[in-house]
Amino acid sequence: MAEPTPSPKAILRGHKAQVHAATFVRHNERLATGDAEGWVVLWDLTIMRPRAVWRAHENAILGIRGWGNDKIITHGRDHKLIVWRVKEEDEERLSVSLPLEDTPTPRPQPWVLHLLEVNTMNFCSFAACLGDPKQGSSIETSSPTAEVILAVPNTLASEAIDIYTLPSQNRIHTIKPGQKNGMAMSLSLFHHNGGLTLAAAFENGFVSVHRLEADGSWTMTYRCQAHTQPVLSIDIHPNRECFFTSAADALIAKHPIPTSQREVDIGLQPNQRVVEVVDSPSDSSATSSGCKTLKEWEHALKIINTKHSGQQNLKVRSDGKIFATAGWDSKIRIYSTKTLKELAVLSWHKVGAYAVAFSVIEGSAAPGGTKAASSKHSAENIAKEFDGEPLQMTEPRETESLVRGAGMSVKDRRLQLAKTAHWIAAGAKDGKISLWDIY
């Protein structure tokens, strides 16, 4: 018999405008969502109710991310990037009235810790990582004193990228991938083999990787045009060995992350020892014959045609096994990171989906490893995934959780369930968030 159509475990209603961004914070206890009118809702996943609601920006929210257990970063189209302090005790003074509800008094805002004036003309959200990788594996689990590095489009040139640090708010680098790329569309910032690395995607379908050298310069180690339309999203595999892109076309691509430029021999003669550095493929035509050159890598590892155009907000799960996309056709699609094979289609929304977010899988490894979740069912399904079979949706696990939590209070059991569920959240044009539990 065919398996029943999967259905969401919960629907979170309250946004009046389309949901553009979502992220899990505080070890999966909370889900933060942002919409096209600048509103942020912090949902308590133990009771599926809002804990804090405020208008963070005067225009659409492009990105949202947690920083430690007490800070949330939002990036809006009002040219502002703001760091908010939202401790659990701060929630007590914040409104729980949802954007759909008309209230006579303005809703209070959390405390603003940092505010950066940035360029948001090209709809590109910020990227972030820790300044020192020794301080932790991600900014979501970092210490309160950790330095964070941000990447945003340059204020004047939308094809260039600025790098800032927090809490200093200083701009420390500007990367110029090339004027022919068009606007930067999506960014990812991370540490790889001891070097700060930026992966960037552009309006003309190109993606590139840039690595910070010891002398402070940036080297382009990879450049590829895997897409025929503007790239909509980019995300890095937790092991830092590859990254994935989706675009306005129907293609999804898997790319390498080289740490240096490759050496190209173009007919070196015995008496010639000229070495030139080629920064882009177009420059190679100016190189004299018989030279050995250094050139960025330019071939994707794998490209598939999904036949579904307009997949955006691509996110890789923390265990590195699967990734998801939000589709203009309203579908959430789950893919294998190994084969790029479509494993599941989550269908509930009737209008375009814009945002997806994975909860952090309990037991998944930090960058550099891909330790799977400890659940027996999870292991079985991951094994099936690598055999090319579809992923299975979970059945309600409250009974299982209650058995494991014998002797715990109802509140503690709900908290345990929220933290250990393999959530995927999807936000759409209808202002609703669907919450799914997927092994």
pLDDT, one tens digit for every residue, the chain (439 residues): 345 567 899 999 999 999 999 999 998 999 999 999 999 999 999 999 999 999 999 999 999 999 988 999 999 999 999 999 999 999 999 999 999 988 878 889 999 999 999 887 778 999 999 998 887 668 887 777 889 999 999 988 878 999 999 999 999 999 998 778 889 999 999 999 989 999 999 999 999 999 999 999 999 999 999 999 999 999 999 999 999 999 999 999 999 999 888 866 545 444 433 333 333 333 433 334 445 677 888 889 999 999 999 999 999 999 999 999 999 999 999 999 999 999 999 999 999 999 999 998 865 544 433 333 333 333 334 434 444 444 444 444 443 444 455 567 777 777 777 777 889 999 999 999 999 998 7
| pLDDT reported for residue 295 | 80
59 with 77, same domain? yes
| C-beta atoms surrounding 181 within 10 Å | 24
- Please indicate, yes or no, if residue 438 is contained in any of the structural domains: yes
Residue 381 inside a domain? The answer is: no
CB contact set of 348 (below 8 Å; sequence gap of 6+): 7, 8, 11, 426, 434
Domain-located, residue 112: yes
Q: Is 250 exposed, middle or buried (0-12, 13-18, 19+ CB in 10 A)?
A: middle
Q: How far apart are CA 279 and CA 217, in angstroms?
A: 13
φ, ψ for residue 187, nearest 5 deg? -135, 155
Q: Do 25 and 150 belong to one domain?
A: no
Same domain, 112 and 177: no
Q: What is the pLDDT of residue 268?
A: 41
Query: Dihedral of the CA atoms 31, 348, 122, 245 (nearest 10)?
Result: 90
Residue 275 belongs to what domain range?
Answer: 262-295
70 belongs to a structural domain = yes
Residues 243 and 236: their CA atoms lie apart, in Å, by 4
Residues 229 and 182 in one domain: yes
Same domain, 86 and 39: yes
**Are residues 283 and 227 located together in one domain of the fold?**
no
The answer to whether the beta carbons of residues 204 and 230 sit under 8 Å apart is yes
Report pLDDT for 138: 83
Same domain, 154 and 173: yes
The answer to whether residue 195 is domain-embedded is: yes
Instruction: Tell me which residue has tokens 């799977």.
Output: 372
Query: Is 252 inside any structural domain?
Result: yes
- Verify that 288 and 315 share a domain, yes or no: no
Domain count, the chain: 3
**Quick one: three-class SS letters along the chain?**
CCCCCCCCCEEECCCCCCEEEEEEECCCCEEEEEECCCEEEEEECCCCEEEEEEECCCCCEEEEEEECCCEEEEEECCCEEEEEECCCHHHHHCECCCCCCCCCCCCCCCEEEEEEECCCCCCCCCEEEECCHHHCCCHHHCCCCCCEEEEEECCCCCCCEEEEEECCCEEEEEECCCHHHCCEEEEEEEEECCEEEEEEEECCCEEEEEEECCCCCEEEEEEEECCCCCEEEEEECCCCCEEEEEECCCEEEEEECCCCCEEEECCCCCCCCCEEEECCHHHHHHCCCCCEEEECECCCCEEEECCCCCEEEEEECCCCCEEEEEECCCCEEEEECCCCCEEEEECCCCCCEEEEEECCCCCCCCCCCCCCCCCHHHHHHHHHHHCCCCCCECCCCHHHHHHHCCCCCHHHHHHHHHHHCCEEEEEECCCCEEEEEEC
Neighbour order of strands in the sheet with 10-12 = 10-12, 433-437, 423-428, 353-358
pLDDT at 121: 75
Q: Is 131 found in the same domain as 109? A: no
Is residue 426 within 8 Å of residue 356, measured between CB atoms? yes
177 prior amide bond cis, ω within 30: no
Asked, for residue 301, whether it belongs to a domain, the answer is no
- The CATH number linked to 155 is 2.130.10.10
Residues 238, 151, single domain; the answer is yes
Report the distance separating Cα 328 and Cα 428, nearest Å. 9
How remote is the C-alpha of 408 from its chain's centroid?
Answer: 35
Alpha-carbon gap, residue 168 to 162, rounded angstroms: 15
- Please report the pLDDT score of residue 363 as a whole number: 59
Amino acid occupying residue 258: P
Residues 220, 282 within the same domain? no
Q: What's the CA angle centered on 234, arms 280 and 391, to 5 degrees?
A: 135
Asked if 45 and 81 sit in the same domain, the reply is: yes
